[in-house]
Amino acid sequence: MEQFIDTLPKVELHVHLEGTLEPALMFRLAERNGIDLPYPDVDSVRAAYEFKDLQSFLNLYYNGARVLQTEQDFYDLTWAYLRRCADENVVHTEMFFDPQTHTERGIPFETVVRGIARARADAEAQLGLSTGLILCFLRDLSEESAIETFRTALPWREHFVGIGLDSAETGHPPEKFERVFAMVRDEGFHIVAHAGEEGPPEYIWQAVRRLGVERVDHGVQCTGDAELVEHLRRAQTPLTVCPLANVKLKVFDRIEEHNLPRLLEAGLKVTINSDDPAYFGGYMNANFRAVAQAFDLDRDTLRGFTRNAIDTAFVDDQRRRELYALLDAA
Ligand code: ADE
Ligand code: ZN
């Protein structure tokens, strides 16, 4: 099964670029930029990655992101992740980034976008994979800040396929961002949002009904509301599930307790993703392996995760056909 997973073409729809910052690169960039890290070495960074919930992770994660300063830093970050994709047979990936994490520290928006864009271009040319970029608003900041970020981003719009919503979920319901997502819709972007990672089913309803999301990021809490599950099944709204992330952040205590089997039995459109692989102990293959092993999933189910991701990727018809062809040939 391991070999089947390694060679299976995979499509990632939920990964935070800032969450691909490996401790070794964090140290290299800290040194390059003269930034003090609160850890003596790479091993103690890894040892610090014990989280009790989403917020305890975010505290470390935003602290780690401080080492990202220059266009080259964002290039190196993105390039390292995309090389990893190529190694793992990830043939298409749609990456989140959080501009406010950087602009709030005085890093210009264009520094971030230029570095990411150059790595994407190199990866497409040299590694043969396709990529998309999704700009996320931080939901623990104000809607005004999201609107300002969106205005700053518009001159760079050819770089994004979509707009998303992430960061601390509890207490920051999707409806807080209804006005800015109306602007996003008017501009014709694809829309996604983290909802129902830790937050209640009501937040998923809001993401669907009030923001108009095409995919729900995480969404695992939907099983607390039978009517919602039925809605998501009928609409075949994709859920970008991140199994290892959910265990690391104690949404489920053990992988065997993850509700993936319930989501599948309910007929929901599930995809498997890595979220913040440098922090949660695994990229795409590790996530596939974890669920395959925990739930004794067969090959058709694993192929189905890739098929679902291709169905819902923000790509043009030609690329979608190519992705199906890659899957069918495997
Ligand atoms: N930002 C990075 N990872 C996240 C997650 N798992 N949930 C919400 N915001 C995030
Ligand atoms: Zn996420």
pLDDT of residue 179: 98
pLDDT of residue 134: 99
Residue with the smallest CA separation from ligand 1 atom 1 is 167
Does residue 196's CB lie within 6 angstroms of at least one atom of ligand 1?
A: no
H or E segment and range at residue 92: strand 90-97
3-state secondary structure of 187: coil
Q: Exactly one of 18, 94, 169, 197 is catalytic; which is it?
A: 197
- Our mutation pick for probing the ligand 1 site, out of 204, 247, 275, counting the most ligand atoms within 8 A of Cβ, is 275
pLDDT of residue 184: 98
Span from the CA of 49 to the centroid of ligand 2 (angstroms): 16
Burial 257-285 (b: 16+ CB within 10 A, else e): ebbbeebbebebbbbbbbbbbbbbbbbbb
Does residue 54's CB lie within 6 angstroms of at least one atom of ligand 1?
A: yes
Does residue 194's CB lie within 6 angstroms of at least one atom of ligand 1?
A: yes
Extract the residue ranges of the chain whose pLDDT is less than 50.
none
Does residue 276's CB lie within 6 angstroms of at least one atom of ligand 1?
A: yes
Residue with the smallest CA separation from ligand 1 atom 5 is 167
CA 45, CA 22: separation in Å to the nearest integer?
Answer: 10
H or E segment and range at residue 166: strand 162-166
CA 192, CA 215: separation in Å to the nearest integer?
Answer: 5
Q: Are 263 and 241 in contact (CB under 8 A)?
A: yes
CA 21, CA 68: separation in Å to the nearest integer?
Answer: 9
Q: pLDDT tens, 133-156?
A: 999 999 999 999 999 999 999 999
**CB-based burial of residue 103 (10 Å sphere; 0-12 exposed, 13-18 middle, 19+ buried)?**
middle
1: closest CA among 324, 303, 309?
A: 303
20: closest CA among 290, 276, 326?
A: 276
Span from the CA of 167 to the centroid of ligand 1 (angstroms): 5
pLDDT of residue 118: 98
Report the predicted TM-score, pTM, of the whole model to 2 decimal places: 0.98
Span from the CA of 209 to the centroid of ligand 1 (angstroms): 22
Cβ neighbours for 229, distance < 8 A, ≥ 6 positions apart: 222, 223, 266, 268
**CB-based burial of residue 41 (10 Å sphere; 0-12 exposed, 13-18 middle, 19+ buried)?**
exposed
Phi first, then psi: give them for residue 195, nearest 5 degrees.
-160, 135
Residue with the smallest CA separation from ligand 1 atom 6 is 275
327: closest CA among 7, 95, 2?
A: 7
> Has 143 been annotated as catalytic?
no
CA 91, CA 86: separation in Å to the nearest integer?
Answer: 7
Match domain 2-324 to its CATH number in 3.50.50.60, 3.40.640.10, 3.90.1300.10, 3.20.20.140.
Answer: 3.20.20.140
Strand partners, 241: 272
Q: Are 185 and 208 in contact (CB under 8 A)?
A: no
Does residue 275's CB lie within 6 angstroms of at least one atom of ligand 1?
A: yes
CA 129, CA 249: separation in Å to the nearest integer?
Answer: 30
pLDDT of residue 219: 98
Q: Are 176 and 203 in contact (CB under 8 A)?
A: no
Phi first, then psi: give them for residue 313, nearest 5 degrees.
-65, 150
Q: Which residue ranges make up each domain of the chain? A: 2-324
